Amino acid sequence: MINYSVDSDGIATILWDMPGRSMNVLNEGSITAFADAAQKAVADEKVKGVILTSGKDSFIAGADLDMLLNTDTSDATAVMNQFSQLQRMFRAYETGGKPWVAAINGTALGGGLEICLACHYRIAADNKKAKIGQPEVKLGLLPGAGGTQRIPRLLGFGMAQAMGVSQILIEGKDLSVDEAKNLGVIHEVVPADKLLVRAKEWLMTPSKEAPIKPTWPKAPNAVDARAVQPWDRPGYKIPGLPGGQIWSPAGLQTFIGANALVSAKTLSVYPAPKAILSCIYEGLMLPFDSALKVETRYFVSLLRDPVAKSMIRTLFFGLQDANKLVRRPKGVDKQDYSKIGILGAGFMGAGIATVSVQNGIDVVLIDRDQAAADKGRQHVADELDKQVKRGRLAQDKRDALLAKVTATADYAQLKGVQMVIEAVFENREIKAEVTKKAEAVLGVKDIFASNTSTLPITGLAEASVRPENFIGLHFFSPVEKMPLVEIIMGKKTSQETLARALDYVQKIRKTPIVVNDSRGFFTSRVVGGYISEGIRMLQEGVPAAMIDNAARLAGMPVGPLTLNDEVAIDLSWKIVQQSQKDLGDKYKPSGTEDGAGAGRGREEERRRRGDQEAAALRAGGRCCALPGRGRFDRSAGRRYRLDHGSGLRAADRRHDLADRPGRRRQIRRRVRCAGAKVRPAVHAAQAAARHGGQGRKLLRQEQGQSRLTFRLIVCGKGGFGRPCLLQPQ
């Protein structure tokens, strides 16, 4: 597990190589073995320096999450003592008076990086695949072995360095070895075959500094300067801060801004980022050994919080199991895909084609005509060009990948494919038509998969002559970025088809989840209920901003109304229409179909007039509704945005305030405050709409737009919060 050796020059090498594991991890066994080796090196007078390295392709991947998940956290004092042992062990060789160099041959994450940070010098192999970082925050934890104290003291708080501290600790970003070197996390990057040679060379080279007396407790009077960390040197000051004081004006401004950024990004839903920030701030006011105790206290508080264990269980173990296909049916040979067909060259179909060719699969991209198919191929080209521009793909490689895409309108080109993925409109008749055309060319064992988001697979499979080969593959938009794929089993879908579909999803490096066949499957059922509840609240008069903000405060990454807009409002309406058509009398209204809701009959006439006026604007080319862009009026060559539903019941809130001068100051304040928010024109217009003509007059005064009169048209159709059109006059 831990191999210890000393050469004739007095250089000890501690080689970390855990048997039976693809990567080294920190668990009870490896920590104990490493502690024994470290203690031996420190105590041996013949040892002049120590090289710490790995016998595997990677260095150390971090703590064993099984150990963390199964830790008994009922006794906080016992947990504090347990996890402070690791810090004491690192601190023992850090203050042992002998220089240690970490020879980092591969990925060093979490506790693996913290071991390196406790070494006095860090050299990394030039390995493009290696990752350097502290990802604990992504699992609801913080670095618990000194990372929150060593990294800020090492990097400091200059502009770039403060951003680096934030990226590593608060965002949990993985760095390349070059990025880590540029920030100062590691000292050198050398060719992999020179790593151990350079490490020994550094240890054998005499220090250019005179021996110094460190500041750690009971330190000898003279210690090799190479064996003393910056924060253990006399007169150490935190880089980037006046006087090196965290409570200096620059320090306070840094942490006030950092606190605001963390709060804005997490809305204080996740405890780990705030705990990391507090840990850094409090720790930098204390001596290093006391600061480590602060870190342990915050680490234990997070470990005892159910959030961390839930995140570990779901985002690590659950995700790992899904990606490893642990539930793949047994006894089915693995399918190696080389060629597939895609029906529909729109945004989704072209996205599926892109991720397929990026993973070495030839694609036949079919649409209703050659022009439409070519448009889909151009989407693939554009995505590959982005990779070239970012330096992630060579031009010749890009050309080779694009050559794998055959754009055509001829279904005969599907001959020889192993799978066909249908990605046409959410219309049962259209899907049935393309199914029959494709299956006329496919072999008897070839798979037909539908990318439907809501239509039951069993019903779609009725158009297939081989329903046992019919399965659902539901991708999410944009396909290039979204990692999840739903695999939906129909009643007649075979286990062999399921296994081969899982192989394809793994081939394109997506995460599959297998779900039952029901309307909306899993994700759409959850999202549909989420959006519907938001719309119902909107109908009841709850402000749109309040609905979305409340959802985000509850932990959702985006509010229901924003989500509805981003996935396309018209898509939700089409799904409702298709559901009504399929279910007939069995369809149960959700209360959001017509946008009115209970008790709103008195507004029917107002909505009807609003619809007529909005229709007139559309007919004149002055209004459009676009997915993800709300509703706009393009009159006078201008474009104004007003979020869907944000002006709900605006007419009910208008008042004649001409004879109430006492209210004018109040309106002015509300308009001014609204205009100071993220989208000034939108929020100020909303505030103005609530107060009729007087509010609009004040709006013009506040924004200096005296030539524009804003007018709100309330639209009633669609049941999505009655979108508002903001129209300049």
DSSP helix/strand/coil, 648: coil
Catalytic residue among 114, 295, 422, 486: 486
- Which sign, positive or negative, has the C-alpha torsion 266, 267, 269, 271? positive
Is residue 701 within a helix (H) or strand (E), and if so which, with residue range?
A: helix 692-703
Question: Where are the extended beta strands (E) located within 328-418?
Answer: 339-343, 362-366, 405-408
Burial of 518 (0-12, 13-18, 19+ CB in 10 A): middle
Q: How far apart are CA 444 and CA 425, in angstroms?
A: 26
Q: Helices (DSSP H) in 393-471: which residue ranges?
A: 395-402, 428-439, 457-460
Is residue 77 within a helix (H) or strand (E), and if so which, with residue range?
A: helix 76-94
Burial of 333 (0-12, 13-18, 19+ CB in 10 A): exposed
Residues 255-264, buried b or exposed e (16+ Cβ, 10 A)? beebeeebee
Phi, psi of 121 (to 5 degrees): -145, 145
- Which sign, positive or negative, has the C-alpha torsion 133, 134, 137, 139? positive
- Would you put residue 636 in left (φ > 0), alpha (ψ -120 to 50) or beta? left
The reply to whether 486 belongs to the active site is yes
For residue 18, the one-letter residue type is M
- State the Cα torsion 539-541-547-548 to the nearest 10°: 70
CB atoms under 10 Å from CB of 599, counted, come to: 9
Question: Where are the extended beta strands (E) located within 98-240?
Answer: 100-104, 108-109, 121-125, 132-133, 188-190
Instruction: Give the closest residue to 327 by CA, choosing from 512, 505, 183, 84.
Output: 512
| Residues that are catalytic | 486
